Every structure is written in structure tokens, then in C-alpha cells.
Amino acid sequence: AQTVTQSQPEMSVQEAETVTLSCTYDTSESDYYLFWYKQPPSRQMILVIRQEAYKQQNATENRFSVNFQKAAKSFSLKISDSQLGDAAMYFCAYRSSNFGNEKLTFGTGTRLTIIP
Amino acid sequence: EPEVTQTPSHQVTQMGQEVILRCVPISNHLYFYWYRQILGQKVEFLVSFYNNEISEKSEIFDDQFSVERPDGSNFTLKIRSTKLEDSAMYFCAALRGGHTGELFFGEGSRLTVL
């Protein structure tokens, strides 16, 4: 079974600075997807960024980028120019690419606080 | 308009009562999921549903839980006899674009069991 580990329960960053959230995972599969979801106080799960394991290039979405290290099974999220609206819980998640096994496996989350 | 709408947003019920949580996707989603998040804890997979039947379920999804899509639109999660530990946020999610597509979450239904 796949597992996802987020070792930082809480992080804080000064507004406009850069912060990196860590995530490691364990799997025996060679092809899969990795995600970062944001959960603001409203509790809705919002997709931040997605990475396909077969792609060597790291995904980027505006101020959000990932450092995907497949051999190390590491998938960190970098948030540049942090804004107050970035304050939320961030969950790393894994999904198999196998048909019939599309469920997400989540990490325990990292609570990000933005300091004005 | 959100891809997935959930109702109710919050339900308070007495222990032992039946609860039905509803999920309505708006696009041509094929795969549906229920996840649960107990306050302060991680999001846990409950069940996946494809082609009108359960495709996978977790150990949490015991006989007290059931899912169905009775009218081809609404996707429901029923808890037959709620327990205190069922208090949680329940998220519906739908996968659009085949099994490699994007997963969209609803805004969640908060269930409080007294």
C-alpha cells in the first residue's frame, strides 16, 4: 500500500517570502500522480498543483512549483512571494495510474501560517 | 459554478439516527468518491464508485455505510446508525476525463453526531 508522509505539521513564512513544504511517499509503482491540495478555513479541498511521475520536468503553477525527485520519492511544494491568502492546510496526495485504483492517499498535512 | 455540489453543508444528528449526504456533479463525471476528515486529522478514503457499483472501499466503510446513485445524477452516502465517531467532514469527489483526469472535490458536508 502507498503511504504519504508530511513531516512538518506547521510552517510559517513572512509575507512575500518563499517557503517549501516537504512530502515523501512510498510506492512500488513506477507510474502515478502526485498532488498538492490546499484546504483553507472553509475546509474545501482545492487542487494547487499536479505532477505526473513519468514527466521529468517539475510542474509549476504561477507562484507554486514542485521539486519532484522520483528516485528519492520526494515531492516538495515551493510557494514563492507568499501571500496572506496562502494561509491554509496543505495536503500532499498520491494517486495510482492504474485503472480501478484512482483513490487519493493523503498525507497528514502541513498548516501554513503567513506572517504579515 | 462548482464541479461538485454537496448537501447539506452541515447536519447535526442524534446518535443512532440515519443520515444521507448528497453529492451532485455537473459535468460528465464517471468516477465518484467519498472521503472523510475527522477534525484535525488527515483526509481518509471511504469508497469509490464507478459504473453504478462500488469499485473499491476502505476498512472504514463497514456495513453501516452505503452509497448509491439512484437517479443517475445524485450520488449519496448513507450512514444507517450514526455513532459519535462518525462526526467528521465528508467530502464527495468526482473524476472528470477518465481515470487519468482531474479530481474535483465538493465543499464538504460537516456531520455532527450528538
Nearest CA-CA distance, residue A15 and chain B, Å: 25
Cβ contact A104–B45 (<8 Å): yes
Quote the CA–CA distance of A48 and A50 in Å, as a whole number: 7
Q: Which residue has the higher pLDDT, B55 or A76?
A: A76
- B91 CB neighbours in chain A (<8 A) are 45
Q: Note the pLDDT tens digit of each residue in A19-73.
A: 999 999 999 998 999 999 999 988 888 999 999 999 989 999 999 999 999 999 9
Q: What is the pLDDT of residue A43?
A: 82
Q: For residue A16, which of A113, A95, A115, A98 has the smallest C-alpha distance?
A: A115
Q: Is B44 on the interface with A (CB under 8 A)?
A: yes
Nearest CA-CA distance, residue A47 and chain B, Å: 8
Q: What is the pLDDT of residue B98?
A: 63
Q: What is the pLDDT of residue B2?
A: 67
- B37 CB neighbours in chain A (<8 A) are 43
Which residues of A fall below an 8 Å CB-CB distance to B?
Answer: 33, 37, 42-47, 50, 91, 95, 97, 99-109
Residue in B55, B89, B93 closest to A43 by CB: B89
Q: What is the pLDDT of residue A14?
A: 97
Strand extents, DSSP E, A9-87: 10-14, 19-21, 24-26, 32-39, 46-52, 60-61, 64-69, 74-79
Cβ contact B41–A47 (<8 Å): no
Q: Which residue has the higher pLDDT, A89 or B102?
A: A89
Q: Residue A116: CB partners within 8 Å, gap ≥ 6? A: A15, A84
Cβ contact B105–A101 (<8 Å): no
Nearest CA-CA distance, residue A23 and chain B, Å: 14
Q: What is the pLDDT of residue B108?
A: 93
How wide is the angle at C-alpha A67 spanned by C-alphas A108 and B96, nearest 5°?
A: 65
**Dihedral angle of Cα B79, B81, B85, B87, to the nearest 10 degrees:** 50
Q: What is the pLDDT of residue B39?
A: 86
How wide is the angle at C-alpha B66 spanned by C-alphas B70 and B21, nearest 5°?
A: 70
Quote the CA–CA distance of A90 and A111 in Å, as a whole number: 6
Per-residue pLDDT for chain B (114 aa), expressed as one digit of tens each?
A: 667 889 999 999 999 999 999 998 776 777 889 999 998 888 999 999 888 889 899 999 999 999 998 777 788 999 999 999 999 999 999 887 665 677 889 999 999 999
Residue in B55, B91, B105 closest to A100 by CB: B55
